[in-house]
Amino acid sequence: MLPLFISHVASAQTTQSITNPTSVLSIFLSLLVVVGVIFALAYIMRRFNVTAMGSNHMKVVASMVAGTKEKIMVIQVGDEQHLIGVTSHNISHLSKLEKNLDVPVKGKAGNNRAGSSQDAFKQKLVAAMAGKLNPQVDTKQKDN
């Protein structure tokens, strides 16, 4: 029993005290490293949009900025496409598209410029909404 007590006292003397300045500095630096790793992983996840890779059932086909905090988006759910309005406080379903927009293929040579894809979406949106609001416009386009 005595040898166990002596070894326990000897090991207690070799451990560092929390009041030792090098120990406090070591703990502080370790905490900074852990917090830095957390922020780095959060930045990487946000940068590469890791959360969107989970499901193929729902995806954003196109989006257009309508204001400082407002967007108009076309989302595809299964085989249906819906036009929605997104603000900082609300998401509103605007319309179900009767004719689906083409889903852009990533890595396609023609879609390298962001402006051209936004212009194409804008033209398709205007045409789709013109046909929805004024059905005569849609029939005139089909006749030509």
Contacts (Cβ under 8 Å, ≥6 apart) of 44: 50
Q: Are 64 and 72 in contact (CB under 8 A)?
A: yes
Whole-structure pTM value = 0.41
Per DSSP, 78 falls in state: T
Residue 136 has pLDDT above 80, yes or no: no
82 exposed, middle or buried (CB, 10 Å; 0-12, 13-18, 19+)? middle
The answer to whether 86 touches 70, Cβ cutoff 8 Å, is yes
What pLDDT is attached to residue 110?
47
pLDDT at residue 45 in the model: 85
Using pLDDT thresholds of 50, 70 and 90, give the confidence band for residue 24: confident
Task: Please choose, from the candidates 93, 63, 97, the residue with its C-alpha nearest in 3D space to the C-alpha of residue 81.
Answer: 97
Residue 97 has a CB neighbour count (10 Å cut-off) of 20
Report how far apart, in Å, the C-alpha atoms of 66 and of each of 70, 84, 143 are.
Answer: 5, 12, 32
d(CA 43, CA 101): 32
The two structure tokens encoding residue 37: 């790793």
pLDDT, one tens digit per residue, over 44-96 is 888 876 665 556 678 888 888 988 989 999 998 888 899 999 999 999 999 99
